[in-house]
């Protein structure tokens, strides 16, 4: 039979295990106080859009193929469908599209922040408060570039959220979201900050906060809180292959959102800084070709004529390393910094040019409303040259092509044979303006530079395709 000593040892082990479990429970964060304090200022947003009968196809939802393949907006539109007899279930001639989202009150007199995509194209916006009262909202302004919208509801002494400082967020910090996923009001989910300063496709001006907080359709526009109960972001996008949450959520930093909101309230629009350049990432091979110690910075692939960068002396092939003392680690860091400046502000750029560091001071311009389109190129007969080393034949640009592309020189590819040019994807009609960090003016110059290219070292080439410029690299082994 077990001895008294064995029983005592068993009970001691159980007591120790209980103490360990209790200590672990105490170490986990308690969100109850935060939720009680913050929930009253979080609202549900529903919209209605009137659609002509013909714009609703039988048993079809809206086509979402135009969205980036992995990023989907956080709301679903519920469209009435035709019955078998071809009529609306309610017999209406005009159909309505509805959407659901979230938002939060930032001032006691009724200003509300949400996402632009939640209220886009809405004819009516209804804000439902925590006490379930519903108010019609007026649209103050929107900014599609940051996906931020400001609404106004009539009210006094409304509950408000506390605003935090998204710059002080740390990776690994606990965060919490409150919103209306699938219409379930005031649902709470938690997680941690996975990364900061993320750049997403088509979102050059937002350094997103990445989290693993569970976000689903309906959470769009809702607040992201830190453990102090302060809003640090607006939940905006998710990465998904299934349409639902997969562990990657993205929030607009509250600092960015409030700057946009204040401009919308004051001016009705948002102004951003603009340099007038096309940039690209510096990879390992490009870093080697430009004489950099490591891949970093933003490579200037194109300088727009008469833009701020052109007037300030920035040139194609410059690698921007810092702006106003802020390091440019990834090329996407530059638009975030420039966009935060106002027109007329100074931007001091530290660049690498011809292997040497120098500083340029540029007066920032205002970002145009519309992006400038590139021009296509149709090769025509001209002085011709070829390079057996690259496997490509080129011709001089005509006067019309130079005028169309706003170039002083360059060559257009006439034919691509087997060789390095084919391997790196060059095509007839592509325009080459730089080879091995040297400007190319004519087909003759191209042949001379190509003849002297080094072996077994990364070589850069600047190529324009349909007016869009980029640097590519290759190596010659022979």
Which tokens in the block code for residue 353? Answer: 């040019």
- Assess whether 147 carries a catalytic annotation: yes
Q: Choosing from 46, 102, 117, 289, which is the catalytic residue? A: 117
Report the distance separating Cα 477 and Cα 117, nearest Å: 51
Which tokens in the block code for residue 280? Answer: 């690209």
Closest by CA to 244, choosing from 64, 72, 103, is 72
Q: Choosing from 147, 203, 285, 430, which is the catalytic residue? A: 147
Closest by CA to 337, choosing from 295, 277, 294, is 277
Catalogue the long-range contacts made by 325-330 (C-beta closer than 8 Å, 24 or more residues apart).
Answer: 327/296, 328/296, 328/297, 328/298, 329/296, 329/297, 330/199, 330/281
Q: Do β-strands 95-105 and 365-366 pair in parallel, antiparallel, or remain unpaired?
A: unpaired
* Region class of 91: left (phi > 0), else alpha (psi between -120 and 50), else beta: left
Q: Do β-strands 42-51 and 95-105 pair in parallel, antiparallel, or remain unpaired?
A: antiparallel
- Assess whether 333 carries a catalytic annotation: no
The stretches of 161-316 forming alpha helices (DSSP H) are 254-267, 284-289, 308-311
Tell me if residue 53 falls in helix, strand or coil. Answer: helix
Strand partners of residue 357 = 352
- Assess whether 199 carries a catalytic annotation: no
Q: Choosing from 220, 249, 393, 460, which is the catalytic residue? A: 220
Q: Is the dihedral of CA 185, 188, 194, 196 positive or negative?
A: positive
Q: Are 238 and 74 in contact (CB under 8 A)?
A: yes
Q: Which residues contact 48 (CB under 8 A, 6 or more apart)?
A: 96, 97, 98, 122, 123, 124, 126
Q: Are 442 and 430 in contact (CB under 8 A)?
A: no
Which tokens in the block code for residue 101? Answer: 């989202």
CA 257 to chain centre: 14
Q: Which residues contact 464 (CB under 8 A, 6 or more apart)?
A: 302, 374, 377, 405, 410, 430, 431, 432, 433
Residues with catalytic roles: 117, 147, 220
């Amino acid at each position: 039979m077990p001895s008294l000593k064995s029983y005592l040892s068993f009970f001691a082990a159980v007591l120790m295990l209980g103490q360990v479990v209790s200590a672990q429970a105490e170490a986990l964060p308690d969100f109850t106080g935060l939720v009680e304090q913050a929930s009253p200022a979080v609202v549900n947003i529903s919209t209605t859009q009137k659609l002509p009968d013909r714009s609703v196809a039988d048993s079809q939802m809206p086509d979402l193929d135009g969205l980036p393949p992995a990023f989907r907006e956080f709301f679903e539109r519920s469209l009435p469908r035709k019955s078998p007899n071809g009529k609306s279930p309610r017999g209406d001639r005009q159909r309505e599209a509805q959407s659901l989202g979230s938002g939060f009150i930032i001032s006691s007199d009724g200003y509300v922040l949400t996402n632009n995509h939640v209220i886009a194209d809405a004819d009516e916006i209804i804000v439902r408060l925590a006490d379930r009262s519903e108010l019609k909202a007026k649209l103050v302004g929107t900014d599609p570039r940051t996906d931020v919208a400001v609404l106004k509801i009539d009210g006094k002494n409304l509950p408000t959220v506390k605003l935090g400082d998204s710059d002080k967020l740390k990776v690994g910090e606990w965060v919490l979201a409150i919103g209306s996923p699938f219409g379930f009001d005031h649902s709470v989910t938690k997680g941690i900050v996975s990364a900061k300063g993320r750049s997403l496709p088509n979102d050059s001006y937002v350094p997103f906060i990445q989290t693993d907080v569970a976000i689903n359709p309906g959470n769009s526009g809702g607040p992201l809180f830190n453990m102090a109960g302060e809003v640090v972001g607006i939940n905006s996008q998710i990465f998904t292959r299934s349409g639902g949450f997969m562990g990657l959520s993205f929030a607009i930093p509250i600092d960015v959102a409030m700057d946009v909101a204040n401009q919308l309230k004051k001016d009705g629009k948002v102004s951003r800084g603009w340099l007038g350049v096309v940039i690209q990432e510096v990879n390992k091979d490009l870093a080697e070709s430009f004489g950099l110690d490591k891949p970093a910075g933003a490579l200037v692939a194109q300088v727009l004529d008469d833009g701020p960068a052109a007037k300030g002396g920035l040139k194609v092939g410059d690698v921007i390393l810092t702006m106003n003392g802020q390091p440019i680690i990834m090329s996407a860091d530059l638009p975030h910094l420039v966009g935060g400046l106002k027109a007329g502000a100074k931007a001091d750029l530290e660049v690498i040019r011809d292997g040497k560091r120098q500083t340029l001071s540029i007066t920032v311009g205002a970002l145009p409303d519309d992006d400038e389109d590139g021009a296509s190129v149709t090769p025509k007969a001209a002085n011709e040259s070829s390079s057996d080393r690259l496997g490509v034949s080129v011709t001089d640009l005509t006067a019309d092509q130079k005028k169309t592309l706003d170039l002083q020189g360059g060559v257009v590819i006439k034919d691509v044979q087997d060789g390095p040019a084919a391997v790196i994807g060059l095509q007839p009609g592509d325009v080459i303006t730089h080879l091995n960090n040297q400007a190319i003016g004519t087909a003759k110059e191209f042949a001379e530079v190509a003849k002297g290219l080094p072996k077994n070292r990364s070589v850069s080439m600047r190529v324009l395709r349909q007016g869009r410029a980029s640097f590519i690299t290759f190596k010659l082994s022979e």
